[in-house]
Amino acid sequence: MKTFAPPDNIEDAIDAVLTYGVAAIEGDKTRVLAYARRLLQCLAPYRDVAPIISAQNVSNKGHLFYVVDNNRYVTGNEELKQAVLNLDTVCLNGLPT
């Protein structure tokens, strides 16, 4: 998994949600939310995916927005929380901080 940032290719973020159930997005709030909304629109044709936008407080970045498949992870899922915390420990494009 990796963290995405606008203007990363939306296809890669779609693949992340389909493969892992989550795509984390970092950057300023306005651009992140616009990217996340676009990702929701792109995932709309997938009937077995229920994408939602969420955020989690994390130690390195302060908070991290992400799009998650709500059919795969329910709100408050510990595995999801840990995945987002793990993404916080890597910087953009999967390189260690």
Q: Could you report the per-residue pLDDT of 9-18, keeping only the tens digit for each? A: 999 999 999 9
Q: Tell me how far apart the alpha carbons of residues 66 and 27 are, in angstroms, rounded to a whole number.
A: 11
Report the Cα–Cα distance between both ends of the chain, in Å, rounded. Answer: 15
| DSSP structure class, residue 90 | B
3 state DSSP class of 2: coil
Strand partners, 68: 22, 52
Supply the pTM of this predicted model. 0.85
pLDDT at residue 93, rounded to an integer: 47
pLDDT at residue 91, rounded to an integer: 53
